[in-house]
Amino acid sequence: MSKSEAEDRQEQEVQARHVHAFLRTSILFGALAAGTAITIGALVRRHRVSATAARRALVTLEDEGLVARESSDEARVSDLKHR
């Protein structure tokens, strides 16, 4: 039997939080420099998450001002010195 929609949404939320936490820490500690491209595909492969979870993580980072979306599939790390 397949997962319910509620279980799928919950799993995607957990995945999104994981990717968000990893990227946020990487950006704030300088492991990802300003201007670094972050793609949905790379996040899916590296973190083994769904594309939806990866997009949610990028949207949250954009809301926090840590990345700027370039397209639906790519974002760039913001320059934190000019915040």
Q: Would you state the pLDDT for residue 81?
A: 84
Q: Whole-structure pTM over 0.85, yes or no?
A: yes
Q: Across residues 19-41, what is the average pLDDT?
A: 97
51 and 16 Cβ atoms separated by less than 8 Å: no
64 and 76 Cβ atoms separated by less than 8 Å: no
Residues recorded for the chain: 83
Q: For the domain covering 5-82, report its CATH number.
A: 1.10.10.10
Helix axes 40-47, 5-28, angle to 10 degrees: 100
Share of the chain above pLDDT 70, in %: 94
Q: Would you state the pLDDT for residue 31?
A: 97
pLDDT above 50 for 1? no
Of the CA atoms within 13 Å of residue 6, those in its CB half-sphere come to: 0
Q: Across residues 76-81, what is the average pLDDT?
A: 94
